[in-house]
Structure 1
Amino acid sequence: MATKPRMHLALDFSWTQVETDWRQPTSWVNRFYPDIGLFEDVARICERGLFDLIFFGDSTGIPNTWEGRIDAAVRRGVAWPRMDMSPWITAMSRVTSHVGFGLTYASTFMHPYYTARLLNALDHVTNGRIAFNVITSQRKADFQNYGYDELVEHGERYDRMEEFVDVCKKLWASVDPDAFVWDPVSGIVADPAKVRPINHVGRFFKVKGPLSVPPSPQGRPVLVQAGGSPRGVRASARFVDHVFGAGKGLALMAEQRVKLDEALRAEGRDPQQVGILWATKVIVAETEAEALRLKERLIADVPMEAVGAWLSHNTGFDMSTLPPRFSLRALNQRIVAANASPVGFVGLLAEQYGEDMEISRDEFFRHGLHAATGYASTKAGTPVQIADYLEEMFEATGSRGGFMLGHSQAGHRAVLQNITTMLVPALQRRGRMRTAYEGRTLRENLAAS
């Protein structure tokens, strides 16, 4: 009997300890945050559940797009506090052996030499379990912390990202895997012929190289990118190993898979080798009623100020300036004019209801509440129901990749445990998930199917 394609699972642990989940009585925050024990606990649970990856999205500024101030974000805990996750990943790797770690840095602000060197070191520390989620930031708070007054134009951000990744890849390849000999008799450390400068001169960067480190266990980190716009899809096709795709309904997800495959073929790459990890929020419980009860807690007593700050930060556009009524088309035009992000929440709303739909400010924020908390996109049910749901999406989108299980379920230890002890076995019984790690590195585990 033919073997079914298997899913890969990642945990999106980007915003779990902020936003809204922290208020729940079962949250880890009151006991731990930001104690390292919390993160070690998550890593152990995910490894027991045979996850491929724990993913950390990031932003480096306190959200200040809403009303032009940080007050709402500070008051409500929206996308803050945030820490550079690289040292925390080091600690998490010491209590695990297989699960990988996805670290986010913005090519808009970082320098490729520093980034390539840092990720090389982390790949050594973790024995080959690092993924690099390279992003182009659309958040004003981030830009202002790096010396910009306004957002850089959308296309230019992607131009810089493509060159950034090209430089990183050249640097990771600048020292051959067999360059180091460490011969105590001759006293030779490495062969100079296998250590080469890259002499890169481009539009955004000038880097001589080579990288001053031994090659990492994977050769280079796994590259992940989440661009969903046409420009983002083209960028992904150039360099990405796996795409982080937004969950947006089967038709749109299948369409993105088709467009990505076309872009990959245009780059001379095999679409079968590039998976999409779809952002998917699930709550699993023994009964459907219990799962739905847990889901309702996501929107309980969430202040609209927090919703506005979240929406503004994640689009790069100040939603406090919205008029009493407006069309989604007009809003998207204002977002584009501000060099902010036309995809994401507003784009999905326009896809669902049509760009010409008129909406009141209050209605818009009610939709925003469901987006900010993950309520709208969270599927709650029994292990069988959730396994059915994931299997349907997996097959409809080409059976390549898997799912990035989102933050709505991760703020509560018991609910994350339910995924590993209830959902994972249900998927294993269907032949849709591994029963043991096959590879030594993250790259090897993601390649296994």
Structure 2
Amino acid sequence: MKNTPLSYGYLLIIHAAIALTVFAIPFLSKIYALLIPIIGFFIVFKTKNRNNEVLLIAGYLVGVEVFLRMTGGNFNNEYIKVTVIIFMLIGMMYSNFSVNGMIYAVFILLLVPGILITTITADFNTDIKKALVFNLSGAVCLGISSIYMYNRRIVFSDLQNILVAMGLPVITTTIYLFLYNPSVQGVVTGTQSNFETSGGFGPNQVSTILGLGIFVFFTQLVLFSKTKKEIFLNIILFVLVSYRGIVTFSRGGIITGVVMICALLAILYLFSSSKSKGKLGFVILLTFIMGLGIWVYSSVQTSGLINKRYANEDSRGRTKKDRLGGRELIMQDEFKLFIDNPVMGIGAGMGKQFRKETFGGEVASHNEISRMLSEHGIFGILGLLLLFITPFAVYINNRQHLYFLSFYFFWLLTINHASMRTAAPAFIYALTLLWVEIRVPKKGENSLN
């Protein structure tokens, strides 16, 4: 996929049209969901994955997941994660993988004791298969994706194409949100997460993918806009995605997007020359002004309620007792379960069952870290340590990976407020492991380190 003004603009128009079509004929969302992997398989088989086409396809799947869920296109909640796993395995068949990447096979094996505990202790009324798939599909997706991407060489411009592949469906999602809810003024009455401004779907997940989109179109604006037309186009995209993300009233994804941008700007500033630092300072100033403008407009459109939301206040301006929408209680419960079962944990997927006694209903965890501790015990700790440390071990000798910290923070922050509900944190985490080169690799160089 060449990132030229013609192809880029053409692809944006197509994805805006997809939003219009699915909004008019909702059933087409399922056709869309079916066509993506079919076309993807055709592309990969035709090219034999010579240029890591599986990463483009998987990136597109990650970007489209929330839109498909929002419009009823997903065949089940794990459809995208399973499809990403399949593409990663196909990529390994065509392009091999680094032996060192098998450390993530160890991560997957660390999940096995928790599975065994579940099969032994689950009661008759528990759907074991559903519990395991719901809680482990994201972790397995992360492990398989990481094995494929570990130390895999890729040119920086090709990495950007993967981001664009993720960003195109985000535009579809954004256009759909405007169609579903053209004006937010009539539906925003409080400071809670708003389903109406989120297309009738979970605001947390919508905010997460839009936060990722904010980063994608910021990088397009700052690093890949060569003409005034491209600059103007990417400013419009950045503004639209940011606005619709903010008015979901779900803070996690937007804060994550801002952190990703700050991490990128910090890396660029650190490695820039004195002359470039002056230009970058101007970019930072313009980014701040643009962000301020988006926020002021959002505040006007929500009658100031968005300000209270981020200040953790209710519609009357009273400070709320909890800052995380009740997630603190779930986390406290999970830490208590870990203390009571520190070695083996309570079993993969069993947290909802245990919380049924505490909260009177099956409440799912929003925090992957506390869930790993409570359900996997010491094996969960070992798995988390592996995930935390390994990317930095790769990055030490790979300083050309300008997006490393941004990707790492996306994964870390997302699993703390949205767990692994979607494929995004798993896939983005694996992107931290790529061996990124600004230059074009010399002819005959191996694709693996």
User: TM tier, shorter chain?
Assistant: under 0.3
Greater strand content: 1
TM-score (norm 2): 0.24
TM-score (norm 1): 0.24
